[in-house]
Structure 1
Amino acid sequence: MSYDICIVGSGAGASPVAYTLAKAGAKVLVLEKGPWLTEKEFYKDELAISLRDSYNPNLADEQHVIEEEYVRENGSTYWDGEPTSESGWSFWNGTVVGGSSNFMSGYFHRLKPVDFRLRSEFGAIEGANIVDWPISYDELEPYYAQVEREVGVSGKVVKHPHQEPRSTEDFPYPPLAEHAVSSWIDKGAQALGFHAIPVPRAVLSQPAMGRNSCEYSGYCSSYGCSTGAKGSGRAALLNHAVATGNLTIIPNAKVHHINSNDQGEVTGVQYYDRQGRDQQVTAKIYVVACQAIETSRLLLSSTSDYFPQGLANSSGQVGKNLIFSAGGTGSGDFFFDEIDKQQQAELKQVGPFINRALQDWYQIDDKKFQGANKNGKAKGGTIDFLFHQNPIARVGGSQWNEHNELVWGEALKQNIFNEFTNYKTLRFEVFNDWLPTDNCFVALDEEVTDKWGDPVAKVRIGSHNHDLEVGEYLAEKGAALLKKLGAKNIATSVSSSPPTNLMAGGCRFGNDPKTSVLNKYCQAHEVKNLYVTDGSFMPTGGSVPYTFTIYANAFRVADHIKTRWLAS
């Protein structure tokens, strides 16, 4: 059967396209490598989620090769790769219908106008491939508003120094219930001259659109939502698209090659079905949205006589300028015997979100900050506060005593008891730009294959030192607030190791076909009927989690595709 639109992937970059075109009357096909799960399959099971990685492929079957930089004894450096089946380091983020949007935390900060003009605003940084976006914030803003309505974002807009322009006065859904510690952060921030702001979340605070509201289990990040409150692409968009009768979803369909002709057009998609049989489908327009690494891998694998370096890759830019999110974490402990009973009760509360962030340093203008330009001015970032609920992770070090000796029996029981009854840890996460460089990219590995015999993606994860400088600056600000709140054992960690759930780039969009893969509408420069709508399009990432922007851009591109389809 031939379709109007064929989409590879089903997450935040795919679901708005499927939703928009199906509602417009187009016959849409979504090919998803993973299974089609629903709310009844999502449990708050830490063993399944965090330790067994149940919603992702077995690394013995599907993996990546990760290249890291090492230093020799003489001081020179070299790159060496290790398969993730050996390291256990998974770069999968949710291989199910709806993709990683099922398992996100749902921090929905918008990018700001400055993020679209990083090169113009702050200038070049040696060793970084920084460019301005081919679109402006104003062009994307209506689609941020659309995501807030149709995916469902809860929150409250407050004035602060870096508040971005909005076409709507507030979010469509009221804020979620807040943890009592939120008020501690508000007071501490005010005392320091900081501006604590409510965090908008892609989680419904009240029932809407056929979905239930949040039940405040306390388990959100990395967990599937059993109520449908979380705005995953599946719950918020694909379910409604299927209901139109115009969307077909084929799960357990692993796309391995996109066929093309010598006129620069895609002619079909090949995939392995559940039984491992090689199938082919055709459509008028094709959309690839299977997350940054796998999208680059698929295009690079789709060679032909016309595209010997991979589909849409005559420029050699496919896979280049991969980005993650830079930053790190911080934490501080609050001991129950050092605070009064009311504070203890507030701190022990489980369920509601903290939903507080700092963006006072989204742009850094501080003479104490050297940065790459040595003038104290740089792009900064966001600090989000949170609790980690996972009990197994929390007791992970309890089997050791202060002398690093293994304990068991009563001593182990006492350590675990103390872990849960003596204190609670408040944490923060720092998000800042991971600058694109020549040493962060996707290629095909020449030796390692997946269970179907196809070359896996080889991912080099080089970073820029500037990312660490900004991250450390922001982490100091987060630590200062924890200190003001009276926390003890304050610690921060800023690393160049990438967070594997925050990836983008690899098929950046731009106006010049020599330096970009896609045009401003995320259409491949060289392929008339091919679009890429996941985070691959992003030339720079900004200083917030990416999902909100991926959703908004996918809605923008979907409007373009709809206009083209209606005119055909």
Structure 2
Amino acid sequence: MSFDICIVGSGAGASPVAYTLAKAGAKVLILEKGPWLTEKEFFKDELAISLRDSYNPKLADEQHVIEEEYQTADGENYWQGEPTSESGWSFWNGNVVGGSSNFMSGYFHRLKPVDFKLKSTFGDIEGANIVDWPISYDELEPFYAQVERDVGVSGKVVSHPHQEPRSTDFPYPPLVDHQVSDWIDKAAKNIGYHSMPVPRAILSTPAMGRKSCEYSGYCSSYGCSTGAKGSGRAALLNHAVATGNLTIKANAKVYHIASDDEGKISAIHYYDSQGREQTATAKIYVVACQAVETSRLLLASKGKKFPQGLANNSGQVGKNLVFSGGGTGKGDFLFADLTTEKQAQLKQVGPFINRALQDWYQIDDKSFSGANQQGQAKGGTIDFLFYQNPIARAQGQQFNDENELVWGEQLQKNLKEEFTSYKTLRFEVFNDWLPTDDCFVSLDTEVTDKWGQAVAKVRIGAHQHDMVVGEYLAKKGEKLLESMGAKNITSSVSSYPPTNLMAGGCRFGNDPKTSVLNKYCQAHEVNNLYVTDGSFMPTGGSVPYTFTIYANAFRVAEHIKHRWQESII
């Protein structure tokens, strides 16, 4: 069968393209490496998620090599790689139809206008490859609104110091709040902070053939058994398949993209579920298999015109990979310090905290060591949450304060204390992971996957500025917990990347020498290639990326649709 559009991947960057083009009448093919699971397969099995990583490949079959920086006894720095099959550190995020959007928490903060112009707003930072985006917030805003409607975002707009411009309110009312959310609101007001409700890509009311949230308490890292969560599969691909114009081939491992003598893509080669070599052809090709794997696939797809990899004569594919800067913090609320009513509120299970702080999304503080000459710097977001699931809460109780393993009566005592004497409120800090020359994807020359293909080697160097901003924000989060009356307050900021928040590697821009894609996410060097996952982002912003990936993919989908329609007139 001949296709108009062939898409590699099926997550947040792929599903809007498939949805838009299939609804327009184009014949679309999706090639997805993982299986096609539905709500029936998404059980609230904590062992499967917390301990067995059931929705990702076995690292013995498919892995990465992660390069970290070390220092010799003489103080000299060097980089050394370790296969993830040895370290156990997985960089996979959900290899199924719909991708990692099946397992996201669904915190859907928009980027803000300043995120599109970091360089012109704050200036250069030594050692960081900061650039302005080739598009503005205003160009992306209508597509943020489309995501809120078509994917389904529940929320409420409230005024706060860094509220971004919006054309509409949220189309679905907020989810039910955990009662501790009121504690946060009151404490924030008392110390001059501005607590805001967090928009979530989870339906608060039934819509679009999907059920609403049932507040099971199992959301982050779990597939949604009601369809309330706005995964690419539940929200978009199901509707696209219903048009009769979308074909999804699951368990299809793409290993090479062929190009002709003119530099256009001529075919995609993949292994089917039986390990047989297959070929797919189309007029337009879209790659959207997450930042690391997209870069790996392009680098592995060498051809006559692209000896360094497809669309990589500039040498930019894989460069300027970004994750998310920041860290975590927590504070304990001791039941002995609380009234019976407060204890009951704290023990509530199911509803979300859904509160965030963005007072320091732009820092204006001349005492801040990371500020520019004007005393300004890009800041970030603080989101509050509970770890409600028992196995996740029990993790760590098998050790004492000296990190020694305990068992028997001591273990029983630790577990009883964890579940009956207090509850921990946590926060997560999101700030920019600045792009640098020491964070990129290349091909490993020695380690291969089960198909014999070179795996991605990922260098994860972080800029020190990220740590400084993260620590500044973490102290603000600690202050709120202190105002709430929490005890044992701590926070930590790390230069290790959260592997579920990755972007860059094929940044878009106006200059083909310093970017891989143009403003429409079309490869500068390959006329019939688009990249629509988070790879396009030249800087990451200070919020989770999925919302922006969705919005940009809808924007690019409109461009591809018009191009396809013009070709058939």
- The residue aligned with 1:153 is 153
Note the C-alpha offset of 1:376.
2.6
- The residue aligned with 1:165 is 165
Residues 89-488 of structure 1: matches in 2 within 5 Å?
A: 89-168=89-168, 170-371=169-370, 373=372, 375-402=374-401, 405-488=404-487
Note the C-alpha offset of 1:404.
5.1
Is this contact kept in 2: 1:215–1:227, CA < 8 A?
Answer: yes
What residue identity is the alignment partner of 1:186?
D
Note the C-alpha offset of 1:2.
1.8
What residue identity is the alignment partner of 2:153?
V
- The residue aligned with 2:496 is 497
What residue identity is the alignment partner of 1:218?
G
Note the C-alpha offset of 1:419.
1.0
Mapped to 2, the partners of 1:175 and 1:416 lie a distance apart of 34
Post-superposition CA distance 1:423-480 (Å, at most 9, x none): 0000000000000000000000000000000000000000100000000000000000
Question: Does the alignment pair 1:81 with 2:81?
Answer: yes
Secondary structure at the counterpart of residue 236 of structure 2: helix
What residue identity is the alignment partner of 2:231?
S
Note the C-alpha offset of 1:22.
0.2
What residue identity is the alignment partner of 1:369?
F
Q: How many residues align?
A: 567
What residue identity is the alignment partner of 2:127?
G
Note the C-alpha offset of 1:412.
2.2
Secondary structure at the counterpart of residue 78 of structure 1: strand
Post-superposition CA distance 1:148-205 (Å, at most 9, x none): 000000000001110000111x100000000000000000000110000000000000
Mapped to 1, the partners of 2:207 and 2:404 lie a distance apart of 53
Mapped to 1, the partners of 2:364 and 2:104 lie a distance apart of 32
Secondary structure at the counterpart of residue 460 of structure 1: strand
Note the C-alpha offset of 1:415.
2.1
Secondary structure at the counterpart of residue 94 of structure 1: coil
Secondary structure at the counterpart of residue 146 of structure 2: helix
Shift in alpha-carbon separation, 1:209–1:71, aligned structure 2, 3 A: same
Post-superposition CA distance 1:243-294 (Å, at most 9, x none): 0000000000000000001212100100000111110010000000000000
Mapped to 1, the partners of 2:405 and 2:302 lie a distance apart of 54
Is this contact kept in 2: 1:11–1:234, CA < 8 A?
Answer: yes
Is this contact kept in 2: 1:6–1:29, CA < 8 A?
Answer: yes
Question: Does the alignment pair 1:50 with 2:50?
Answer: yes
What residue identity is the alignment partner of 1:243?
A
Compute the TM-score of the two structures, normalised by the length of structure 2: 0.99
Note the C-alpha offset of 1:372.
5.5
Mapped to 2, the partners of 1:76 and 1:103 lie a distance apart of 41
Mapped to 2, the partners of 1:314 and 1:487 lie a distance apart of 55
Structure 1 alignment gaps of length 5 or more: none
- The residue aligned with 1:59 is 59
Note the C-alpha offset of 1:23.
0.2
Secondary structure at the counterpart of residue 462 of structure 2: coil
Note the C-alpha offset of 1:45.
1.1
- The residue aligned with 2:544 is 545
Mapped to 1, the partners of 2:208 and 2:329 lie a distance apart of 37
What residue identity is the alignment partner of 2:531?
V
Mapped to 2, the partners of 1:502 and 1:398 lie a distance apart of 28
Note the C-alpha offset of 1:43.
1.0
What residue identity is the alignment partner of 2:12?
A
What residue identity is the alignment partner of 2:534?
G
Is this contact kept in 2: 1:125–1:372, CA < 8 A?
Answer: no
- The residue aligned with 1:68 is 68
Note the C-alpha offset of 1:145.
0.2
What residue identity is the alignment partner of 1:91?
F
Is this contact kept in 1: 2:65–2:81, CA < 8 A?
Answer: yes
What residue identity is the alignment partner of 1:418?
E
Shift in alpha-carbon separation, 1:312–1:401, aligned structure 2, 3 A: closer
Moved more, 41-50 or 526-535: 41-50
Is this contact kept in 2: 1:372–1:466, CA < 8 A?
Answer: no
Residues 19-38 of structure 1: matches in 2 within 5 Å?
A: 19-38=19-38
- The residue aligned with 1:523 is 522
Post-superposition CA distance 1:355-382 (Å, at most 9, x none): 0000000000012201163543100000
Note the C-alpha offset of 1:400.
3.4
Secondary structure at the counterpart of residue 117 of structure 2: helix
Mapped to 1, the partners of 2:331 and 2:149 lie a distance apart of 36
What residue identity is the alignment partner of 1:332?
G
Secondary structure at the counterpart of residue 281 of structure 2: strand
Mapped to 2, the partners of 1:439 and 1:108 lie a distance apart of 29
Post-superposition CA distance 1:369-408 (Å, at most 9, x none): 0116354310000000000123223222323345655433
Mapped to 2, the partners of 1:449 and 1:556 lie a distance apart of 36
Structure 2 alignment gaps of length 5 or more: none
Is this contact kept in 1: 2:504–2:536, CA < 8 A?
Answer: yes
Note the C-alpha offset of 1:88.
0.2
Mapped to 2, the partners of 1:398 and 1:220 lie a distance apart of 23
Is this contact kept in 1: 2:365–2:371, CA < 8 A?
Answer: no
What residue identity is the alignment partner of 1:445?
D
Mapped to 2, the partners of 1:412 and 1:298 lie a distance apart of 47
Shift in alpha-carbon separation, 1:81–1:407, aligned structure 2, 3 A: closer
Post-superposition CA distance 1:291-324 (Å, at most 9, x none): 0000000000000111000000010000000000
Post-superposition CA distance 1:88-114 (Å, at most 9, x none): 000000000000000000000000000
Mapped to 1, the partners of 2:31 and 2:47 lie a distance apart of 29
Secondary structure at the counterpart of residue 61 of structure 2: coil
What residue identity is the alignment partner of 2:128?
A
Mapped to 1, the partners of 2:551 and 2:241 lie a distance apart of 21
Is this contact kept in 1: 2:264–2:526, CA < 8 A?
Answer: yes
Mapped to 1, the partners of 2:282 and 2:154 lie a distance apart of 37
Mapped to 1, the partners of 2:86 and 2:28 lie a distance apart of 39
Is this contact kept in 1: 2:217–2:389, CA < 8 A?
Answer: no
Compute the TM-score of the two structures, normalised by the length of structure 1: 0.99
Note the C-alpha offset of 1:413.
2.0
Shift in alpha-carbon separation, 1:484–1:11, aligned structure 2, 3 A: same
Is this contact kept in 2: 1:153–1:202, CA < 8 A?
Answer: yes
Is this contact kept in 2: 1:196–1:356, CA < 8 A?
Answer: yes
